[in-house]
Structure 1
Amino acid sequence: MQKVIIFSAPSGSGKTTLVKHCLETFPQLSFSVSCTTRSPRGEEKNGIDYHFISPDEFRTRIAENAFVEYEEVYNDKYYGTLKFEVERIWEENKTVIFDVDVKGGIALKKYFDDKAISIFIMPPSIEELERRLHLRATDDAETIVNRVAKASEEMSYKDQFDEILVNDDLQVAKDAVVKVIENFLAS
């Protein structure tokens, strides 16, 4: 059966670090590159980290029904999962791994149903989340304030996910996520 693994979390929870660990651990996984209208951060590269496109191009693709799911997170800041990304990975006989925001994760789980496992990565606390965002140094102060405010709301959705992992200790979180994925792939 074609399967998908969905990772969601508030920004700064360590989700991307855990996804990268899974990709290194499981050669049968392949990363689904999301589409966004936001500008690249840090060392992000088009086609590798995201497909970076304009808001007008994003809206055109919505009209063409090119997305499995999408959301306008902030005004003109869209994120979405392109259908061709999932098809490309399944054609390689691999399992898709997603790194998406919380609402995207819920939408993907509904779309893929029993083909999917959804994993919510929790920060140990809002204070720790804010500290991590400052340390990451990829966002300005206003963006961090917005992300911290959004995190509280996003954490209220955690019970809609199959698994909830608290990323308090990175190695413990890595070990836990490997066990979850091993069980899912074996099922």
Structure 2
Amino acid sequence: MPPSPSRRGLLLILSSPSGAGKSTLARRLMDWDPAIRFSVSATTRAPRPGEVEGREYYFKPRAEFEAMVAGGQMLEHAEVFGNLYGSPRAPVEAAMAEGRDTLFDIDWQGGQQIRNSALGRDVVSVFILPPSITELDRRLRARGQDSEEVIRGRMAKSQAEISHWAEYDYVLVNDDLEETFARLLKVLEAERMRRDRQPGLSDFVRGLNREFEAR
């Protein structure tokens, strides 16, 4: 569906413990609506073979990244293994002005920073829970991507991540992917229709009142 210039775009944050289905839901959402912009992070690490500027990351020298943080040009940022990562503000604001939504696939810490940013009132946050810890472990193993040590590390981190569920606007239990995706679409469609996200409504209602006066 095309973006609507009469509606201000929103910031949709998806968070979950690893293996709960967040990234799969994010991909499904962008397939459903290609106008949704995925937030590409900036980083100070060097590009890896095959990575393209602006597709995987915006690659920045550390001094430039730190200057962006100091100037309020990052919605959120963190240091991971000696490299800085963050979400640039300018592309998000440009998408909002075009009536396009921006999707963030980030953890609770990044989500918290964005909710506390200047664009916090435009945030819709959704936390994805697994149906059980046993199922979460099974999904991680079924991917066949990680070693036993990595899986144990992800499971150990999951409890701390899940403890932040109450900070989110919506919480979905991903017991069935199709049903969870359907619920996620209902959240997005309802939030898009919020009165304060439709700046053209005031002019429309004024027009209705002029019709009353002209009768």
Q: TM-score, with normalisation over the residues of structure 1?
A: 0.82
Residues 129-140 of structure 1 aligned to structure 2 (within 5 Å): 129-140=136-147
Report what 1:128 is aligned to: 135
Query: Which of 1 and 2 has greater Rg?
Result: 2
**Would you say 1:5 and 2:9 are equivalent positions?**
no
Paired with 2:192 and 2:129, the residues of 1 have a C-alpha distance of 23
Amino acid in structure 1 at the alignment position of 2:113: A
TM-fit CA distance, 1:109: 1.9
- Contact 1:122 1:166 survives alignment (8 Å): yes
- Contact 1:37 1:58 survives alignment (8 Å): yes
CA distance 1:94–1:171, change in 2 (3 Å): same
| More deviation, 137-146/148-157 | 137-146
Paired with 1:166 and 1:156, the residues of 2 have a C-alpha distance of 14
Q: How many residues align?
A: 181
SS of 2:75's equivalent in the other structure is strand
Indicate which of 188, 192, 214 corresponds to 1:181. 188
- Contact 1:29 1:94 survives alignment (8 Å): yes
- Contact 2:40 2:58 survives alignment (8 Å): no
TM-fit CA distance, 1:81: 1.0
Gaps of 5+ in 2: 1-7, 195-215
Residues 13-92 of structure 1 aligned to structure 2 (within 5 Å): 13-36=20-43, 45-46=51-52, 47-48=54-55, 50-51=56-57, 53=59, 57-58=61-62, 60-65=64-69, 66-72=73-79, 74-76=80-82, 78-90=84-96, 92=98
Amino acid in structure 2 at the alignment position of 1:142: E
- Contact 1:38 1:52 survives alignment (8 Å): no
Indicate which of 97, 104, 108 corresponds to 2:110. 104
Paired with 1:138 and 1:52, the residues of 2 have a C-alpha distance of 26
Q: Percent identity?
A: 35
Paired with 1:177 and 1:63, the residues of 2 have a C-alpha distance of 36
CA distance 1:122–1:77, change in 2 (3 Å): farther
- Contact 2:25 2:181 survives alignment (8 Å): yes
CA distance 1:14–1:63, change in 2 (3 Å): same
TM-fit CA distance, 1:153: 0.1
Paired with 1:155 and 1:31, the residues of 2 have a C-alpha distance of 24
CA distance 1:146–1:37, change in 2 (3 Å): farther
TM-fit CA distance, 1:21: 1.5
CA distance 1:163–1:33, change in 2 (3 Å): same
Amino acid in structure 1 at the alignment position of 2:178: Q
Paired with 1:160 and 1:20, the residues of 2 have a C-alpha distance of 24
Paired with 2:133 and 2:42, the residues of 1 have a C-alpha distance of 27
Paired with 2:15 and 2:66, the residues of 1 have a C-alpha distance of 22
TM-fit CA distance, 1:31: 1.0
Indicate which of 162, 174, 197 corresponds to 1:167. 174
Report what 1:141 is aligned to: 148
Paired with 2:47 and 2:24, the residues of 1 have a C-alpha distance of 18
SS of 2:127's equivalent in the other structure is strand
Q: TM-score, with normalisation over the residues of structure 2?
A: 0.72
TM-fit CA distance, 1:60: 4.5
